[in-house]
Amino acid sequence: MRFVIFGLALVLTGCVTAPRQFHNPNVTQEQAKRDALECRYDAKKVEASQANPIIAVDMANQAYNMCMEIRGYR
């Protein structure tokens, strides 16, 4: 039964949208990479805090998007 639930979670996770592409003309490429890495790290913490893998991926994407927007990326 666990394998069925895990398999279903993996299939449904693929239906969740991926994080957007962000651009900020006021930062260097190195800074943009660093910001994206830090936001991904924070998003992974959000994802790890959720028991439901489908909700976890969606919440992680939202956290990543908010993090990048707060840093001035559009």
Tens-place pLDDT, residues 21-51: 999 999 999 999 999 999 999 999 999 999 9
| Rounded distance between C-alpha atoms, residue 49 and residue 63, angstroms | 12
Mean pLDDT, the chain, rounded, equals 87
21 or 18: which leads in pLDDT: 21
Instruction: Read off the DSSP letter of residue 14.
Output: T
17 or 51: which leads in pLDDT: 51
Domain layout of the chain by residue ranges: 2-17+26-70
- 46-63 average pLDDT score: 95
Q: What's the pTM?
A: 0.74
Name the residue with tokens 């805090």: 49
